């Protein structure tokens, strides 16, 4: 068949695609040509069309290709066949085209077959194959010449894709590339009338358009600064990968990946891949994600991080908890597990970290100087604790004083409500000791906790836990300080105890008591309580510990395996959720220092209900912890929620998150405990939250 120019081919394709005809202005827009040029092309095509029993007619100002249905179908078929014919190439371009043909072939090919395809001799093809040996070697690929079978390529799938995509990217300029995509969007075919068009034709048009749309939808978020040439490279590589997947050719393993900051690129790769149809997504493995992430990492661009501080809550909460522990150690004072201090400090630090480093001198505040003067030892403890736990921050004196105010407030509150724990010992009769306990509670309300024990059980009691020890009898040889009182607790004994308490425990105050007949101030709504209890019970019922089989899998592969193991009614799109989790990991480390735990959480529209579970790896993996060290990760504490999670469900999940690092005992339980132990721990925390 006669070869047409690119414009003529576009014009004929357009007329064949619209049997009812097109107005001249529509044709002008579609092929980007002037009216005069189009009329000239009509004239040039007249003889060729006449030989095919066709002609271009103008009916009611609409131009259409006229002929019998059989003649139109025959002409369209011949035009389509001509697109697959290789144009005349120079030797270098022909070798590139030959390489593409071999790389994409799913079978061995004979020399004669290749010679016919490129309209050259068998000797020329043989010489071309020899010339291709070196570039193929550079990609660790081999051109095998198998006797009686033909020519085929041997090597890894990732290297085959990389070489094929590189050849196409070098052969096609970005203007022609994006222009061709525009033509595909208008329903026009990719033509092979010149070298670039031939290489463009190696890409399946529907797949190319699909990949372009997937990348473009994320351009503003991730690729705003990527040059068109590199964007073209990514789209070609992605199209190649999808085409190969559709033919059952998968990447199985990637060697030599530099995994520094790799998670953020895996997250972008997942964001792209989740936009494909289900038939493609089901074939996507962790290795496929790694392959695309590796291509993305090679681009010259900056990934804009989400500026929302909510992404840093877990890490920040952990560091604030460490700050509280450090200050407690430095000040020799237990701040306990005061949720209010932890929450207030975390909220304060979120704002403080945002304004830290704002340029310009800030004059010291006289009022804050007074606070530092009032609590010099506590201020020193805060300064040292902050330096140890936030070494990457350089807070000014006044900013550190704001932290001091939080600690001082909790300190004063604890002083005014200091718990006084008393142990009551008796030689035998527990009834006598219980009478004493009752009278102590009624007559000396400053005592907040009273424990009763037999003298014979002293060896089983940690006496250091008590502020005061009372006994109904003398204890010869007992080395600790104690006071002897009568079981009836006479008036003079009550006065002596009060004086002793006020002298040695001046911060205690009488415990507030509530009359038993007094109605509670807050009226609870039954429906609300029932709804909240049901929500908490559902989270508990979903909690499981699931083993995960892993050997050399990457974190991305493990997360995909984890999300795919969750019931579809809870996670509708596992890949999308895995992508969200990877995004979370790329923002900041989530490994808990000195443990085998990582606390990974996200919200997604693909999650239908709050969900928490532990996934236990068969083989621990090296994983970055919040203190930038490396832990051996074995248990992933996974927390998921719907994008529109309710305030109460969010509160429960927040409580669960904090529970993991609230105390060493809790952390140990999450590290080694079974489902029953963790169920009890979580249910107790939920119960406390429900009864606040």
In the predicted structure, residue 511 carries a pLDDT above the cut 90? no
Per-residue model confidence (pLDDT) at position 300 = 54
Q: What is the DSSP letter of 109?
A: B
Number of Cβ within a 10 Å radius of residue 225: 12
Per-residue model confidence (pLDDT) at position 423 = 87
Of the ranges 363-377, 474-488, 602-616, the best mean pLDDT one = 602-616
Per-residue model confidence (pLDDT) at position 615 = 96
Per-residue model confidence (pLDDT) at position 294 = 86
Per-residue model confidence (pLDDT) at position 450 = 84
Number of Cβ within a 10 Å radius of residue 97: 22
Domain extent listing, the chain: 6-83, 91-155, 160-297, 309-416, 421-504, 526-690
Q: What is the DSSP letter of 523?
A: P
Per-residue model confidence (pLDDT) at position 192 = 46
Number of Cβ within a 10 Å radius of residue 448: 17
Helix axes 664-672, 647-662, angle to 10 degrees: 100
Q: Which strand (E) or helix (H) includes residue 154? A: strand 150-154
Per-residue model confidence (pLDDT) at position 354 = 58
Of 22-36, 386-400, 515-529, the poorest mean pLDDT is in: 515-529
- What's the pLDDT tens digit per position in 384-393? 999 999 988 8
In the predicted structure, residue 471 carries a pLDDT above the cut 60? yes
| Token pair for 187 | 């329903």
Average pLDDT of the residues in 155-172? 90
Please give the residue that has the higher pLDDT: either 5 or 399: 399
In angstroms, the first-to-last Cα distance of the chain is 84
Average pLDDT of the residues in 369-398? 89
Q: Do residues 577 and 567 lie in contact, with contact meaning Cβ atoms separated by under 8 Å?
A: no
pLDDT grade for 359, boundaries at 50, 70 and 90: very low
Number of Cβ within a 10 Å radius of residue 123: 10
Q: What is the DSSP letter of 607?
A: B
- What's the pLDDT tens digit per position in 331-341? 887 775 556 78
Sign of CA dihedral 614, 617, 618, 619: negative
Number of Cβ within a 10 Å radius of residue 534: 9
Sign of CA dihedral 238, 244, 247, 250: negative
Q: What is the topology classification, in CATH, of domain 421-504?
A: Rossmann fold (3.40.50)
Q: Which strand (E) or helix (H) includes residue 634? A: strand 630-642
Please give the residue that has the higher pLDDT: either 627 or 356: 627
Q: Do residues 201 and 83 lie in contact, with contact meaning Cβ atoms separated by under 8 Å?
A: yes
Of 166-180, 239-253, 268-282, 483-497, the poorest mean pLDDT is in: 483-497
Half-sphere exposure of 336 (CA within 13 A, CB side): 11
Burial of 618 (0-12, 13-18, 19+ CB in 10 A): exposed
Q: Measured between alpha carbons, how far is 140 from 133 in angstroms, rounded to an integer?
A: 10
Give 474's contacts (C-beta < 8 A, 6+ positions apart): 484
pTM equals 0.52
Half-sphere exposure of 449 (CA within 13 A, CB side): 11
CATH of 309-416, one of 1.25.40, 1.20.1630, 1.10.1790, 1.10.3470: 1.10.1790
Per-residue model confidence (pLDDT) at position 503 = 62
In the predicted structure, residue 306 carries a pLDDT above the cut 50? no
Per-residue model confidence (pLDDT) at position 152 = 92
Sign of CA dihedral 272, 278, 280, 281: positive
Per-residue model confidence (pLDDT) at position 363 = 47
Same fold for the pair 6-83 and 91-155? yes
Give the CATH H-level superfamily of domain 526-690: Mannitol-specific EII; Chain A (3.40.930.10)
Give 654's contacts (C-beta < 8 A, 6+ positions apart): none
pLDDT grade for 521, boundaries at 50, 70 and 90: very low
Q: Measured between alpha carbons, how far is 445 from 452 in angstroms, rounded to an integer?
A: 17
In the predicted structure, residue 23 carries a pLDDT above the cut 50? yes
Of the ranges 138-142, 410-414, 448-452, 524-528, the best mean pLDDT one = 138-142
| Token pair for 690 | 């429900």
- Name the region of 622 (left: φ>0; alpha: ψ -120 to 50; beta: rest): beta
Per-residue model confidence (pLDDT) at position 351 = 62
Burial of 98 (0-12, 13-18, 19+ CB in 10 A): buried
Q: Do residues 414 and 336 lie in contact, with contact meaning Cβ atoms separated by under 8 Å?
A: yes
Average pLDDT of the residues in 242-252? 89
Per-residue model confidence (pLDDT) at position 692 = 61
Give 179's contacts (C-beta < 8 A, 6+ positions apart): none
**In angstroms, how far is CA 53 from the centroid of its own chain?**
62
Q: Do residues 657 and 602 lie in contact, with contact meaning Cβ atoms separated by under 8 Å?
A: no
Per-residue model confidence (pLDDT) at position 514 = 40
pLDDT grade for 361, boundaries at 50, 70 and 90: very low
Q: Measured between alpha carbons, how far is 410 from 381 in angstroms, rounded to an integer?
A: 14
Q: Do residues 81 and 93 lie in contact, with contact meaning Cβ atoms separated by under 8 Å?
A: no
Per-residue model confidence (pLDDT) at position 518 = 37
Per-residue model confidence (pLDDT) at position 47 = 76
Average pLDDT of the residues in 261-267? 74
| SS3 call for 449 | strand
Of the ranges 84-88, 215-219, 256-260, 649-653, the best mean pLDDT one = 215-219
| Token pair for 52 | 């095919």
- What's the pLDDT tens digit per position in 555-614? 999 999 999 999 999 999 999 999 989 887 876 778 888 899 998 888 899 999 999 999
pLDDT grade for 4, boundaries at 50, 70 and 90: low
Per-residue model confidence (pLDDT) at position 554 = 87
Please give the residue that has the higher pLDDT: either 508 or 150: 150
Half-sphere exposure of 466 (CA within 13 A, CB side): 20
Residue from 203, 186, 190, 207 nearest 79 by CA = 190
**In angstroms, how far is CA 397 from the centroid of its own chain?**
36
| SS3 call for 98 | helix
In the predicted structure, residue 61 carries a pLDDT above the cut 80? yes
Sign of CA dihedral 524, 525, 529, 530: positive
- The answer to whether domain 91-155 has CATH 3.30.350.10 is no
Per-residue model confidence (pLDDT) at position 358 = 41
Average pLDDT of the residues in 1-19? 77
Which percentage of the chain shows pLDDT scores above 70? 82
Q: Measured between alpha carbons, how far is 275 from 510 in angstroms, rounded to an integer?
A: 65
Average pLDDT of the residues in 648-673? 84
Q: What is the DSSP letter of 639?
A: E
Q: Do residues 245 and 278 lie in contact, with contact meaning Cβ atoms separated by under 8 Å?
A: no
In the predicted structure, residue 85 carries a pLDDT above the cut 70? no
Which residue intervals of 390-520 are DSSP H helices? Answer: 397-416, 430-443, 491-504
Average pLDDT over the chain, rounded to whole? 80
Of 29-33, 92-96, 309-313, 663-667, the poorest mean pLDDT is in: 309-313
Classify strands 62-66 and 142-146 as parallel, antiparallel or unpaired.
unpaired
Please give the residue that has the higher pLDDT: either 427 or 642: 642
Q: Which CATH architecture has domain 6-83?
A: Orthogonal Bundle (1.10)
């Amino acid at each position: 068949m006669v070869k047409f120019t690119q414009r003529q081919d576009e014009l004929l394709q357009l007329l064949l695609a619209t049997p009812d005809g097109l107005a001249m202005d529509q044709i002008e827009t579609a092929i980007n040509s002037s009216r005069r040029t189009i009329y000239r092309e009509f004239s040039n095509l007249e003889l060729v069309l006449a030989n095919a029993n066709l002609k271009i007619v103008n009916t009611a100002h609409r131009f259409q290709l006229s002929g019998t249905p059989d003649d139109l179908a025959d002409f369209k078929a011949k035009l389509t066949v001509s697109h697959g014919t290789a144009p005349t190439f120079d030797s270098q371009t022909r070798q590139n085209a030959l390489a593409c043909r071999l790389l994409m072939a799913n079978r061995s090919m004979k020399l004669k077959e290749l010679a016919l395809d490129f309209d050259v001799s068998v000797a020329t093809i043989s010489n071309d194959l020899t010339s291709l040996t070196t570039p193929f070697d550079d990609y660790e690929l081999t051109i095998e010449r198998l006797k009686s079978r033909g020519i085929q390529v041997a090597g890894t799938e990732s290297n085959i894709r990389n070489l094929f995509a590189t050849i196409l990217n070098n052969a096609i300029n970005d203007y022609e590339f994006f222009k061709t995509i525009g033509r595909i969007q208008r329903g026009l075919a990719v033509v092979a009338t010149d070298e670039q068009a031939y290489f463009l034709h190696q890409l399946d048009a529907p797949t190319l358009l699909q990949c372009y749309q997937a990348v473009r939808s994320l351009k503003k978020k991730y690729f705003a600064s990527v040059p068109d040439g590199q964007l073209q490279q990514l789209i070609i590589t992605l199209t190649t990968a999808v085409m190969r997947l559709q033919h059952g050719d998968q990447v199985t393993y990637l060697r030599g990946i530099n995994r520094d900051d790799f998670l953020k690129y895996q997250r972008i790769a997942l964001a792209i891949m989740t936009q494909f149809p289900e038939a493609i997504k089901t074939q996507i493995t962790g290795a496929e994600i790694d392959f695309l992430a590796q291509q993305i990492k090679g681009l010259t661009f900056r990934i804009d991080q989400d500026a929302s501080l909510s992404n840093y809550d877990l890490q920040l909460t952990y560091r604030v908890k460490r700050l509280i522990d450090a200050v407690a150690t430095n000040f020799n004072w237990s701040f306990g597990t005061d949720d209010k201090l932890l929450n207030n400090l975390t909220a304060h630090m979120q704002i403080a970290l945002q304004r830290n480093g704002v340029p310009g001198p800030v004059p010291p505040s006289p009022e804050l100087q007074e606070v530092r003067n009032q609590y010099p030892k506590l201020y020193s403890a805060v300064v040292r604790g902050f330096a140890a736990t936030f070494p990457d921050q350089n807070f000014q004196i006044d900013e550190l004083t704001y932290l001091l105010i939080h600690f001082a407030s909790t300190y004063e509150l604890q002083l005014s409500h200091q718990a006084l724990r008393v142990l009551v010992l008796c030689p035998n009769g527990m009834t006598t000791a219980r009478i004493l306990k009752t009278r102590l509670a009624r007559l000396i309300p400053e005592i907040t906790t009273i424990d009763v024990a037999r003298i014979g059980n002293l060896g089983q009691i940690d006496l250091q836990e008590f502020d005061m020890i009372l006994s109904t009898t003398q204890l010869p040889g007992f080395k600790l300080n104690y006071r002897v009182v009568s079981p009836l607790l006479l008036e003079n004994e009550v006065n002596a105890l009060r004086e002793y308490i006020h002298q040695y425990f001046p911060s205690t105050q009488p415990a507030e008591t509530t009359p038993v007949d007094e109605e509670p101030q807050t009226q609870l709504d039954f429906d609300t309580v029932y709804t909240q209890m049901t929500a908490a019970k559902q989270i508990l019922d979903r909690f499981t510990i699931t083993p995960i089989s892993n050997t050399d899998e990457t974190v991305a592969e493990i997360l995909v395996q984890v999300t795919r193991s969750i019931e579809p009614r809870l996670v509708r799109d596992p890949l999308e959720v895995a992508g969200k989790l990877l995004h979370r990991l790329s923002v900041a480390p989530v490994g808990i220092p000195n443990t085998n735990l990582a606390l990974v959480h996200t919200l997604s529209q693909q999650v239908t209900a709050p969900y928490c579970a532990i996934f236990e790896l068969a083989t621990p993996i090296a994983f970055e912890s919040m203190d930038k060290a490396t832990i051996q990760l074995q248990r992933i504490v996974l927390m998921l929620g719907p994008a529109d999670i309710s305030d109460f469900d969010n509160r429960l999940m927040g409580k669960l998150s904090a529970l993991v690092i609230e105390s060493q005992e809790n952390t140990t339980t999450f590290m080694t405990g079974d489902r029953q132990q963790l169920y009890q721990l979580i249910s107790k925390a939920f119960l406390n939250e429900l009864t606040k």
